[in-house]
């Protein structure tokens, strides 16, 4: 059986598709899975061992520079036209993903029903729409969609991303290190600079280096503030996703806000601490065996807003995230990381 998964973006959504791929590979002998994904996330899609071919689609570039991306778009269409699929699964439920699914040839298109897709009109393009309400975590919903589309019972086991961390990990530093993932597109998902500094300093006291990523001027400014005066902090230069992933996979532990790289850390079975405020970890939280989530305690949580109505001018760290005590965050990280990492 040849199956096409359509999950174009974004980073966290791509990661949440991994457990469904693991399920399908175990449940359907001889299955061959291709993945149609935005080119930005193609390196991530290639990490899963059940994926035979990744077909990159220049969705984002088509919006910004359509003529420059046209050749790559046509190349993706040719690759899709050369294959016949038994089943096509749109696990995104958007109009753009529904359009992309229609580029494939062959079998029946499956997706979420009109009542449960993110954009209900997308379901009109499927042969079969499955009622999978938005009351469970996205990773579970995609597992249910795969099971329904491919005709096997939904596994009762915990989600398994199926990644080989040892094969992915790099070793960029001589000492064990933790990664602090501070960057996010939502201002309301940021934590305080002081919080990050306390965690980095505590890690240094244990002999752990701290690694920070930065993408864009705003994140670079935050990184400079976090790293100031702390000798154990290392800042990786801006790089592509395929360059960042090995550094992340080699970490002893991770502290993250609600963002895609944090979900990847959990999927890699890294000890991962998640800092949540405006979003609901029950629907988009960390999926992994070694995770701990700090959830905002204010009555407005989760508001699912990128702007804070309670304190619009909060600066760094909205009220719902600012009450996560740095000492508590590091204490939970210390419980999860291996005893061989660092020294006491």
Q: What is the pTM for the complete model shown?
A: 0.95
Instruction: Name the nearest CA neighbour of 89 among 41, 43, 38, 143.
Output: 143
94, 123 Cβ separation under 8 angstroms: no
Instruction: Name the nearest CA neighbour of 254 among 196, 305, 295, 205.
Output: 196
Instruction: Name the nearest CA neighbour of 263 among 46, 6, 11.
Output: 11
**pLDDT at residue 342, rounded to an integer:** 62
**pLDDT at residue 46, rounded to an integer:** 97
One DSSP character per residue, 116-159 reads: TSSSGGGGGG-SEEE---TTS-HHHHHHHHHHHHHT-PPP-SPP
Compute the distance between CA of residue 156 and CA of residue 139 in angstroms, rounded to an integer.
Answer: 13
Ordered by where they begin, the domains of the chain are 2-150 (3.40.50.2000), 165-336 (3.40.50.2000)
**pLDDT at residue 344, rounded to an integer:** 44
Q: Between the CA of residue 126 and those of 57, 61, 308, 335, what are the distances in Å?
A: 20, 26, 38, 47
**pLDDT at residue 239, rounded to an integer:** 78
> Taking the chain (344 residues) in consecutive chunks of 10 residues, what is each chunk's mean pLDDT?
97 97 98 97 97 96 90 95 96 97 95 97 98 95 98 97 94 86 93 97 96 87 95 88 92 97 97 97 96 95 94 88 94 87 57
**pLDDT at residue 125, rounded to an integer:** 97
């Amino acid at each position: 059986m040849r199956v096409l998964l359509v999950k174009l973006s974004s980073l966290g959504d791509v990661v949440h598709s991994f457990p469904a791929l693991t399920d399908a590979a175990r449940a359907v002998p001889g299955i061959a899975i291709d993945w149609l994904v935005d080119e930005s996330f193609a390196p991530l899609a290639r990490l899963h061992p059940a994926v035979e071919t990744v077909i990159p689609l220049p969705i984002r570039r088509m919006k910004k520079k359509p003529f420059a991306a046209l050749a790559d778009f046509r190349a993706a269409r040719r690759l899709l036209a050369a294959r016949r699929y038994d089943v096509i699964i749109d696990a995104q439920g958007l109009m753009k993903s529904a359009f992309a699914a229609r580029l494939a040839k062959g079998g029946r298109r499956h997706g979420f029903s009109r009542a449960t897709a993110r954009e209900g009109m997308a379901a009109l393009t499927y042969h079969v729409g499955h009622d999978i309400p938005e009351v469970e975590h996205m990773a579970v919903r995609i597992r249910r969609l795969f099971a329904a589309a491919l005709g096997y019972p939904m596994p009762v086991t915990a989600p398994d991303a199926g990644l080989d961390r040892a094969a992915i990990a790099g070793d960029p530093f001589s000492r064990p290190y933790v990664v602090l993932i501070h960057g996010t597109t939502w201002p309301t998902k940021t934590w305080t600079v002081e919080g990050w500094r306390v965690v980095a300093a505590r890690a240094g006291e244990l002999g752990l280096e701290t690694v920070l990523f930065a993408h864009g001027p705003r994140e670079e400014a935050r990184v400079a503030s976090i790293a100031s005066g702390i000798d154990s902090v290392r800042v990786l230069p801006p790089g592509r996703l395929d360059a960042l992933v090995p550094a992340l996979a080699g970490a002893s532990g991770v502290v993250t806000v609600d963002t895609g790289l944090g979900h990847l850390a959990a999927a890699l079975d890294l000890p991962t601490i998640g800092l949540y405020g405006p979003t609901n970890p029950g629907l988009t939280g960390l999926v992994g065996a070694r995770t701990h989530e700090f959830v905002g305690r204010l009555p407005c949580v989760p508001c699912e807003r990128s702007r804070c109505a309670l304190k619009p001018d909060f600066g760094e760290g909205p009220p719902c995230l600012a009450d996560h005590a740095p000492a508590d965050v590091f204490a939970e990280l210390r419980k999860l990381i291996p005893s061989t990492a660092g020294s006491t």
